[in-house]
Structure 1
């Protein structure tokens, strides 16, 4: 099956952003995260607070997650019993992430530094404590949260870099991969709630599919992200390689990811290989054709926007 048919990707999905990275994350993905302790200070706004706004903002991501991931757990997103059994925990978790996201956006707009806190309270501590109390917290989930925190630091570094600052393409690619940490966290939660071991092949396949969705979003949102000084992989390729070579190198990167995705798609179980493309057909947004989705946008001179950001 052609990846062009499969990847009629949704371009309205929001990725994960984190307020404060708590622990270090190595390039090999190893991490150390202490288990939640009952005596940690919880006098902070994020203790277990989830607003209606956060719930509303998380709806699109939750819908997309259920449509794309439930089938890999033998679940039907249109089945009310399946939804009501698992959605309370999934919805609370995603909304909690969005609640922290609101605070991060405020800090980023004010150009405030996002520090690696030594003595600060973990803004996700309440979420971890709640999941641990239900025997749902795992070290692997902690690792996904750390990847999301690492995305934040990479995003901050890239977005605040000046014309003379060097940016690593590898860091930008890692940031794009880490941006979907919330989906991986939700997927791990679903395995844990169902009492099943993680299917590593399915998990890796869905990681690639999420990466392609993020790529489609970045291509579509390039101009808007330039104006907002938001992280976008297109901006990085143009800054590192220049307008002409940057477009070519980005197209090669996208093709390589699509090829890896198609190889895994062809190895899926027949039922999943038949069902999964429907997700993208149903979630196609903004009225774009397949060719338009994967078209690398033309270079934008960021100089006027950089001056505007610097003056704030």
Structure 2
């Protein structure tokens, strides 16, 4: 297992290198620049800004310099948020995004597995059709529609919860953004669990367990659930990375000061360093969670072992 982890960590280096390289040149080749405003700056001012941020240098030199600084954790200054480095901005916003994403992930994972299992145990029943209908709706309806609807009903009409802002971070401030962020993922987990659970309940070893007279709870939880969770675990890595690094839509709707909105703001304003910092952050999260998923695979399925 240790050798496997070390190999995966070693493979993460070229993966990050490829992600950084592609993102760097895509941002530079996009039309416009960080200082191209609706009202053009005087030529002398533009020249001074380009020199101050080293944007007057050849592109290959900018690329090598960025790689050199990124290895030490220096992602440069932001072009939009003056007097702030990218590391400082991420350090401020990441705790909010991680806390919100953790709650949303737990809500989606636990809720999706539970209702997916119930639907599988009542296959082709009214409960099954209801769960799948709700899950399909949750997947197809985007969160920029769900968020305002929840805010309108529970925040404005009923006045049960605040309509936005982080507040003191208590449950009443987080419940609407958590539901909005986690609902589509809950629907996906429910569909994955239902499908794999139905398949698992019809396997030979489950029939054998039932023939031995084992209780239904033992058959489902101990035997069928382990195999049914494999597709869920596979989807867990990209889902966790997406939720924990913030959602620009949800954070904008509920005015949460996380890192998700930085990516969109950076792309709109051509803030090269800000976009690169968020891309590297997401890439690191994806790599780490993929490693965790591979380890969980070995624990859930005895046939999968890492030497």
Question: Of the two structures, which has the highest relative contact order with CA contacts closer than 8 Å and spacing of 6 or more?
Answer: 1
* TM-score normalised according to structure 2 size: 0.31
Q: Comparing both structures, which one devotes a greater share of its residues to helix?
A: 2
Pair member with larger Rg: 2
